[in-house]
């Protein structure tokens, strides 16, 4: 015997969230129903608005509901001649938390992975090349993850940068190999920025 249809549906749909299994979904549904219906309604509205309105920054590809994200739209940073290339928006947040990088970003939203059908098009490399060809980029810092795919992606992008005579570097492997960039502490991240090597 299950719950009523609406309660069942709420539990089922909560399971679409990463890391949420049947037991957690049930606990979440009951907590919202019992104690926090207002929070549940706020979440519903935030989800609906974000799912329908959030697109990608036309300059760096991170998530935003505007044409340009706050960083690209800022006077200080939007025209910076240094671009840091990362795999995900969470990586941007990790680097921003360190506070030592003042350039702009380019977010690949993934890494080269031919077996999964992720090639240069999926990573927006044509847009990145436009930036490189514009003459407005002095240095490209590659901060993809230190994994096989992240390294391959970095080398692929390095070749494009070199063909446009743009200095290209890769953040130093102070980031533990096999680890994920967004979980690294800000000091290690700072070291890895300082220790970047030409490619």
* Footprint on this chain of Zn ion (rule: CB under 5 A): 57, 59-60, 69, 72
Query: Which sign does the torsion angle of CA 11, 16, 18, 22 carry?
Result: positive
| Partner that binds at residue 173, options a second copy, Zn ion, none, CB closer than 5 to 8 Å by kind | none
| Least separation in angstroms between CB 33 and a second copy | 5
Residue with Cβ nearer a second copy (107 or 154): 107
Residue 156 interacts, among Zn ion, a second copy, none and using kind-specific CB cut-offs from 5 to 8 Å, with none
Q: Which does 72 bind (CB under 5 to 8 A by kind): a second copy, Zn ion, none?
A: Zn ion
In which element (H, E) is residue 197 found? strand 197-198
- Among a second copy, Zn ion, none, the one that 59 touches (CB under a kind-dependent 5 to 8 A) is Zn ion
Closer of 61 and 170 to Zn ion (Cβ) = 61
Residue-level length of the chain: 199
Cα gap 121→100, rounded to integer Å: 30
> What residues contact residue 126 under an 8 Å CB cut-off, 6+ apart?
120
With vertex at residue 84, the alpha carbon angle to CA 197 and CA 138, rounded to the nearest 5 degrees, is: 75
Q: Nearest approach, Cβ of 81 to Zn ion (angstroms)?
A: 15
d(CA 185, CA 178): 15
Under DSSP, the state recorded for 176 is P
Q: Which parts of this chain interact with a second copy (CB under 8 A)? A: 1-7, 9-10, 12-14, 16-19, 24, 26-34, 36-37, 39-54, 62-66, 69-71, 88-90, 93, 96, 109
């Amino acid at each position: 015997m299950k719950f009523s249809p609406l309660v069942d549906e709420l539990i089922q749909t909560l399971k679409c969230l990463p890391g949420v299994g049947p037991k957690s979904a049930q606990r979440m549904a009951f907590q919202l129903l019992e104690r926090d219906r207002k929070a549940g309604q706020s979440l519903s509205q935030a989800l609906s608005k974000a799912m329908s309105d959030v697109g990608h920054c036309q300059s760096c590809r991170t998530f935003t509901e505007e044409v340009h994200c706050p960083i690209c739209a800022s006077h200080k940073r939007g025209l910076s001649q240094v671009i840091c290339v990362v795999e995900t928006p969470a990586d941007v947040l990790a680097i921003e938390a360190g506070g030592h990088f003042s350039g702009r970003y380019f977010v690949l939203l993934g890494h080269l992975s031919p077996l999964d059908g992720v090639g240069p098009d999926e990573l927006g490399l044509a847009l990145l090349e436009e930036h490189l060809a514009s003459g407005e980029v002095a240095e490209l810092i590659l901060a993809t993850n230190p994994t096989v795919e992240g390294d391959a992606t970095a080398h692929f992008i390095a070749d494009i940068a070199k063909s446009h005579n743009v200095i290209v570097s890769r953040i130093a492997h102070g980031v533990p190999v096999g680890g994920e960039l967004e979980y690294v502490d800000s000091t290690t991240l700072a070291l890895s920025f300082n220790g970047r090597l030409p490619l």
